[in-house]
Structure 1
Amino acid sequence: MITRQFTITAEVGLHARPATQLVQEASRYSSHIELEYNEKKVNVKSIMGVMSLGIAQGATFSIIIDGHDEEEAMKGIEALFTNEGIAE
């Protein structure tokens, strides 16, 4: 299992387009991927789950990945966050 914290840098937060991009990236992997924010955990492969958290700019959250391709999945998510200016 891998856990990493990120901070939202996008002005719109993790809303609509950035959330959709995250769900699409997470869906490429077979590992179980969760996002934890304010003591709530959601499945990152669920757009409704991610959107329900309402994560705003400046907020810190964790991505938790467990599975056989967890390292590849974390690298893909980190690259998405960096390349799209979503989080750091």
Structure 2
Amino acid sequence: MIDTTIDVINKLGLHARASGKLIEVTSKFRSSIQIGKGDKLVDAKNIMSLLMLGAGKGTTLRLVIDGADEDKALEEIQTLFAAKFYEAE
């Protein structure tokens, strides 16, 4: 199991388009992927749950991944966040 944090660095935060891109990544994996603030974790494969987080720029999110492909899932999620969800700034 991986339990780490990730920072939201894109200008608009985890809005609808960014959440959709995150789901494109998370839904490829069999591992359980949860994201949230502190103990309030939500399913990172559910768009409504992601939008309800209200994670704006500068938010530090907790990421919990558990499963056979957890390492690859973490790598792809970190890449997506680092690339600012491939949005123009």
Deviations 1:38-74 (A, max 9, x none): 5311000000010011101111111110001100110
Which residue of the partner structure matches residue 6 of structure 1?
6
Rounded to whole Å, the distance in 2 between the matches of 1:11 and 1:81 is 11
Instruction: Using the TM superposition, give the Cα deviation of residue 20 of structure 1 relative to its aligned residue in structure 2, in angstroms.
Output: 0.7
**Within 2, Cα distance between the matches of 1:9 and 1:81?**
7
Q: Which ranges of 4 or more aligned residues in structure 1 deviate by more than 4 Å?
A: none
Alignment of 1:28-67 (within 5 A): 28-67=28-67
Q: 1: distance between equivalents of 2:6 and 2:61?
A: 6
Q: Provide the residue aligned with 1:71 in structure 2.
A: 71
Listed as ranges, the gaps of 5+ residues in structure 2 are: none
Cα offset for 1:2? 0.5
- CA shift at 1:28, angstroms? 0.4
